[in-house]
Amino acid sequence: MIPNKTIKDLIGKHSNLERELSSGNIDKKLFAEKSKEYSDLNEIIDNAKKYLSFENDKNELEKILNDQNSDNELLKMAEVELKDLETQHKKNEKKLKLFLLPKDEADKKNAIIEIRAGTGGLEASLFASDLFKMYEKVSNKKKWFLEIISISKSDAGGLKEVIASIKGTNIYSTLKYESGVHRVQRVPDTETQGRVHTSAATVAVLPEVEEVDLKINESDLRIDVFRAGGPGGQSVNTTDSAVRITHVPTGISVSQQDEKSQHKNKSKGLKILRARLYELERSRIDLERSKDRKSKIGTGDRSERIRTYNFPQGRVTDHRINLTLHKLDEFLEGEAFDEMIESLLLKAQEESLSNLYQ
């Protein structure tokens, strides 16, 4: 049950913003921010007012039902109206709870996605490549802009590692539940006995942050430059353009050599480093907040097995919500991806709601 004071505060804030915005005296710098807040409140203000008036409306209907002088037609109308009122009240309560849930400030940010081949040798690198192609197709369908930051290919034509930036609308909120171990079960092309092998790849999705979001002290960085090398160790550059940036306090290290320019490699390396440091701090805060309860849907544990792609049975299963889609091909084409994401988001909301106003 939501405290009445919380609902009254929402209604009061809506009224105050309405007066401010219509006065014409509001600071131009604050106008856009307050307009957005007012617009958000507009979507739930009717629900808030009905939620507050529920008890009074319910009491009035119960008076009619308890009045021995009420005729049968009036009683039937009151019964139907009371049932509708209670149903609407539950809907209002859920909508208000969702609105009041703590907002993740990173949800609207762009994302950096890191995919690495795990156990399974060359087959794991081929699976890592399949995952990357899937995210590329999802990005194309959603009109997102995907840019490769660094890439390392395997001998089999797969990927040892790929790091990419994805830009668009609410990227992180859509992709954040992709972090974890993705497992594949299929018969590799090199398998002569037709046996199913299990391989894995890890995915990490980090919110992309700007310098204004996270300041890094230059004194905390150790920057080493070296000559970029290609497959087999041969030199692909005659200058020391590759960069390794180490954040000394945390020990986090990023190497970047895809660009021929040392400056560009440093810039890309810092982008990855900022994202990792930002996520490290977020994970620390989340751990402090969630000591009393454990969410089934994590967003940062890269060692957690979250999903299995079973080719012989044509299915993909998300183990956190026990959801199996028998449309593996469509999923890898990006077609059924939204169905999985929406189920994950719904489950995450349900977990958050169950912890609210207990």
More confident residue, 260 or 175: 175
Question: Looking at residue 211, what DSSP letter applies?
Answer: T
Instruction: Report how far residue 336's alpha carbon sits from residue 141's, in angstroms, rounded to the nearest whole number.
Output: 12
Most confident option among 61-75, 289-303, 331-345: 331-345
Q: For 247-274, write each residue's pLDDT tens digit.
A: 999 999 998 888 888 888 888 888 899 8
Instruction: Provide CATH 3.30.70.1660 ranges for the chain.
Output: 111-209+293-353
User: Quick one: pLDDT at residue 159?
Assistant: 95
Place of tokens 């070296």: 226
Report whether pLDDT(219) > 70. Answer: yes
Report whether pLDDT(161) > 80. Answer: yes
Report whether pLDDT(239) > 80. Answer: no
Mean pLDDT of 54-58: 95
Q: Percent of the chain, pLDDT > 90?
A: 49
Closest to 174 in 3D by CA, of 338, 347, 349:
338
More confident residue, 164 or 355: 164
Residue 28 amino acid letter:
K
Edge-first strand listing for the sheet containing 242-247: 221-226, 242-247, 252-256
Q: For 313-349, write each residue's pLDDT tens digit.
A: 999 999 999 999 999 999 999 999 999 999 998 888 8
Instruction: Report how far residue 297's alpha carbon sits from residue 306's, in angstroms, rounded to the nearest whole number.
Output: 9
Closest to 157 in 3D by CA, of 184, 203, 182, 124:
124
- β pairing state of 180-186 and 305-310: parallel
Instruction: Provide CATH 3.30.160.20 ranges for the chain.
Output: 218-287
CB-based contacts of 40, cutoff 8 Å, min separation 6:
99
Third-level CATH fold of 111-209+293-353: Alpha-Beta Plaits (3.30.70)
Place of tokens 């497959």: 231
- pLDDT confidence bin for 358, thresholds 50/70/90: low
Count the neighbouring beta carbons within 10 Å of the beta carbon of residue 202: 22
CATH 3.40.250.10 holds for 218-287: no
